[in-house]
Amino acid sequence: MSTELVTGLASGSDYDPLDDASSWWGGQKSRSRPTMPPDPAQVRRQLAWRRAIQGVLADPEQIRVVFQPIADLARGTVAGYETLARIDVPVPGIGDRLSPDQWFGAAEENGLGPALEGVVIARALTRLGELPPNAFLTVNVSPHLLGTPELDEAFGSVPELSRVVVELTEHVAFGDLESITAETRRLRSAGALIAVDDAGSGYAGLQQILELRPQLVKLDRALVAGADRDPARAALAELLGQFAGRLDAWLLAEGIETVGELATFCRMGVPLGQGWLLGRPADRMMPLADEVRARVLAETTRVAVTDAIASVMLSRVTVTTADRVENVKTTEPAVVVDRSGAPVEMLAPDPRDGVPRRLPVSLRVLASDAADDVLMRALTRPAAHRFDPVVCTDSWGQVIGLVLVDELTRHVVGARPPARAVT
């Protein structure tokens, strides 16, 4: 945050309303003309919150940023971290240990929401250099604050956002989505990915996903809790995973707290997981504990490798950049990537003359995705691209191979038992 902004917030008005509640009320009355004066205790609470928030904005070191690991459920490694804010500052008359929701809610009520959220985001982004290779950092953002000067300043505090996931953390009115979509488009152009949380919490949430087309969809905790004991809940979670896959997005199961829940989502092929079972928030970006990694890998190995596309993936694939496309001479498909390593198009030899031709990346999947599901998604593409190669990436979107649709078809058909005659 700029020095001018923080100084202005810390200085407050010319008088201290806490010392003269009646004076504060008189000013409010002249502006809003309510029929009854507010509760003096409520006024004191709100003003106490305002003073506390202004103090934190004046001294951002009081905000502690912690990191909760997001696990790659196929490899038993950390795929990324979600940043969370902790403000261990007592608020007189309110409490000593207050939750982040209380702080951000009070900031919003006092007109300081953008300022507090901007400071937290900026502090989180200063830790980007601590990320391990091939990991991302998630920052939580209130969608209605996107485009405010405070958030623009925070996101502009780093040269690029190529390892940042911007997670939209609340549901907004459908009418607001047009402006929010424009702001997320701006963040994407700076390299950021977009995540939406609480998928499955209602029809409005599904509308947001359709409009925003995020790269990461976080499954609502209500669908994760007890999914191992409730087949209907698990089935709905699986449907949402298929829905996310059709949008070329990754699904993240948030709030995994039991071994049974972990096993269920590993069996589903959900690529990412988060929760206290996998790792609690910590002051540093910690790897998965050895016992947690062993548990994840044990559950993953229960899924037969023949069910995943990894068994038919071509791993020896030429990967090039757009400025070197003309130098590629190959009889096998190649992938063109952008500067961050994400696939943008493919080169495949024309069967008539063998000359490489350019193809769009019409389907991108993970190596842990189920083969029959990938085949179904491939065959429902537009006819012109139905049999184009499928790009296979890791959890951060880096190319690790290609899958040929004819090989995938033979694999899936050969893996199924013959149909039984009806007698």
Other Cβ atoms less than 10 A from the Cβ of 418: the count is 5
Structure-block tokens of residue 219: 């499954």
pLDDT of residue 306: 45
Where does the pLDDT of residue 10 fall: very low under 50, low under 70, confident under 90, or very high at 90 and above?
A: very low
Where does the pLDDT of residue 325 fall: very low under 50, low under 70, confident under 90, or very high at 90 and above?
A: low
Q: Tell me yes or no: is domain 311-415 CATH 2.40.50.100.
A: no
Higher pLDDT, 146 or 171: 146
pLDDT of residue 14: 42
CATH 3.20.20.450 in the chain, residue ranges: 61-303
For residue 214, what is the DSSP state? Answer: -
Helix, strand, or coil here: 47?
helix
Q: Quickly list H helices, 113-230.
A: 113-125, 149-155, 177-189, 203-212, 221-224
- Checking if the pLDDT of 209 tops 50, the result is yes
What pLDDT digit, counting tens, does each position of 369-392 carry? 888 889 999 999 999 889 999 998
Where does the pLDDT of residue 303 fall: very low under 50, low under 70, confident under 90, or very high at 90 and above?
A: low
Between CA 239 and CA 246, with CA 243 as vertex, the angle to 5 degrees is: 140
CATH 3.10.580.10 in the chain, residue ranges: 311-415
Q: Quickly list H helices, 254-326.
A: 259-268, 290-300
Give domain 61-303's CATH superfamily. Answer: EAL domain (3.20.20.450)
pTM exceeds 0.85? no
93-113 burial code (b ≥16 CB/10 A, e <16): eeeeebeeeebbebbbebebb
Q: Of the candidates 307, 390, 320, which has an alpha carbon nearest to the alpha carbon of residue 356? A: 320
Contact of 86 with 280, CB cutoff 8 Å: no
- Checking if the pLDDT of 4 tops 90, the result is no
Average pLDDT, the chain: 83
- Please state the φ and ψ torsions of residue 158, each to the nearest 5 degrees: -125, 155
- Checking if the pLDDT of 67 tops 60, the result is yes
pLDDT of residue 33: 54
Mean pLDDT of 171-189: 80
Q: Of the candidates 288, 296, 305, 302, which has an alpha carbon nearest to the alpha carbon of residue 368? A: 305
pLDDT of residue 82: 98
129-132, long-range: CB < 8 A, 24+ apart: 130/284, 130/285, 131/81, 131/163, 131/285, 132/78, 132/285, 132/287
- Interstrand relation of 356-360 and 164-168 (parallel, antiparallel or unpaired): unpaired
- Checking if the pLDDT of 112 tops 80, the result is yes
Half-sphere exposure of 335 (CA within 13 A, CB side): 29
The residues, ordered by sequence, that sit 6+ positions from 21 with a Cβ below 8 Å of its Cβ are: 40, 43, 44, 47
How far, in Å, are 169, 210, 261, 287 from residue 278 at the CA level? 21, 30, 11, 10
The residues, ordered by sequence, that sit 6+ positions from 35 with a Cβ below 8 Å of its Cβ are: none
